């Protein structure tokens, strides 16, 4: 894994992508820092990260688009898969290289609260926690982008697909507001989402027997629960989707100085989930 990590990290700096992303994040953060903290005197560096969180929507697709799409296009993925390393080591080597690129500007961010402290009042602990949550959110975005890159051999499609998913995450709070509240609409919505998960399982396993059983359980359980106690489904979609709002975990630090532990667990769970999905997609292509 160490060899793959070094190879990938070196590749990002040989192609200038690593330098561009680092400079991009630091430059925009520096502009926000001067505007918010130096000119207007806000004592929280978390304001800077909150105002510039959209930068991850651009940095993550640029960082992840080549991770597996380029290997697949150049047909070097087969050489990599036949190397004497496990699939987990391949995926994690690439993933760790990408989060290292993100970690460099985040490490520089640690200096900004100290600069604020030199000017007067500062909230070091709150700012450092916001930097940690910002980094973890970036790690989630990178895991999503890596998975999208494993689906295609086009870097452009991988970048656009990742950006589209991240934009939906960014607008998640507004999207939730359009969800229906009635029990009937929610039961159909829940059944549809679970059917999509069953379809995803079929795409990865190609086992129609297991997927058929899962779909029968999905429709049967939802139908029975709705018939017995329909009020359970009222606003259920909004409640579930609200728990998946990734931006709220960061905003709880940036705006309220509260660390959402459940949100951190959600971040880590999503990282593991998308790394697993990436491994499954590559494994499927290996034996196809």
Instruction: Identify the residue with better confidence: 271 or 281.
Output: 271
pLDDT one-digit tens code per residue, 105-140: 999 999 988 888 887 777 788 889 889 999 999 999
- Predicted pLDDT at 268: 93
- Predicted pLDDT at 103: 93
Q: How many angstroms separate the CA atoms of 220 and 198, rounded?
A: 14
Average pLDDT score over residue span 12-40: 86
pLDDT at 146 over 80: yes
Instruction: Identify the residue with better confidence: 5 or 258.
Output: 5
DSSP H helices in 120-182: 124-149, 155-170, 172-176
Instruction: Identify the residue with better confidence: 77 or 201.
Output: 201
pLDDT level of residue 74 (50, 70, 90 thresholds)? low
User: Lowest mean pLDDT: which of 53-57, 156-160, 260-264?
Assistant: 260-264
DSSP H helices in the chain: 2-14, 17-33, 46-51, 55-64, 69-73, 77-81, 87-109, 111-119, 124-149, 155-170, 172-176, 183-205, 208-228, 236-243, 246-254, 261-287
- Predicted pLDDT at 100: 94
Instruction: Identify the residue with better confidence: 42 or 110.
Output: 110
pLDDT at 287 over 70: no
- Predicted pLDDT at 47: 82
User: Lowest mean pLDDT: which of 39-48, 54-63, 162-171, 188-197?
Assistant: 39-48
Average pLDDT score over residue span 129-152: 91
Q: How many angstroms separate the CA atoms of 94 and 92, rounded?
A: 5
- Mean pLDDT in the chain? 83
User: Lowest mean pLDDT: which of 8-22, 51-65, 232-246?
Assistant: 232-246
Domain boundaries along the sequence of the chain = 2-173+244-287, 183-234
User: Lowest mean pLDDT: which of 132-136, 179-183, 189-193, 201-205?
Assistant: 201-205
Locate tokens 């989060």: which residue?
Answer: 99
- Predicted pLDDT at 101: 93
DSSP classification of residue 215: H
pLDDT at 197 over 60: yes
DSSP classification of residue 36: I
Whether 130 contacts 63, CB under 8 Å: no
pLDDT level of residue 83 (50, 70, 90 thresholds)? low
- Predicted pLDDT at 30: 87
Average pLDDT score over residue span 162-172: 89
pLDDT one-digit tens code per residue, 254-263: 666 677 788 8
């Amino acid at each position: 894994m160490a060899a793959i990590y070094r190879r990938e990290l070196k590749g990002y700096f040989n192609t200038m992508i690593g330098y561009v992303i680092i400079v991009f994040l630091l430059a925009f953060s520096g502009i926000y820092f001067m505007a918010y903290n130096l000119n207007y005197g806000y004592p929280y560096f978390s304001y800077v990260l909150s105002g510039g969180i959209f930068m991850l929507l651009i940095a993550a697709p640029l960082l992840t688009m080549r991770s597996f799409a380029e290997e697949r296009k150049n047909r070097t993925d087969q050489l990599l898969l036949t190397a004497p390393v496990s699939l987990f080591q391949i995926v994690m080597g690439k993933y760790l290289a990408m989060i290292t690129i993100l970690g460099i500007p985040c490490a520089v961010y640690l200096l900004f609260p100290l600069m604020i402290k030199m000017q007067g009042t500062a909230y070091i602990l709150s700012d450092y926690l916001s930097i940690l949550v910002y980094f973890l959110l970036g790690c989630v975005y990178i895991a999503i982008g890596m998975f999208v890159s494993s689906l295609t051999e086009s870097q452009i499609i991988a970048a656009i697909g990742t950006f589209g998913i991240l934009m939906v995450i960014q607008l998640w709070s507004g999207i939730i507001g359009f969800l229906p509240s009635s029990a009937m609409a929610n039961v159909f919505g829940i059944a549809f989402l679970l059917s999509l998960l069953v379809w995803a399982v079929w795409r990865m396993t190609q086992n129609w027997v297991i997927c058929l059983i899962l779909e029968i359980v999905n429709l049967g359980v939802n139908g029975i629960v709705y018939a017995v106690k329909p009020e359970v489904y009222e606003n259920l979609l909004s409640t579930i989707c609200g728990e998946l709002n990734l931006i709220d975990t960061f905003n709880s630090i940036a705006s309220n100085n509260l660390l959402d532990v459940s949100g951190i667990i959600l971040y880590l769970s999503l990282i593991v989930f998308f790394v697993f999905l990436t491994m499954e997609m590559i494994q499927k292509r290996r034996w196809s």
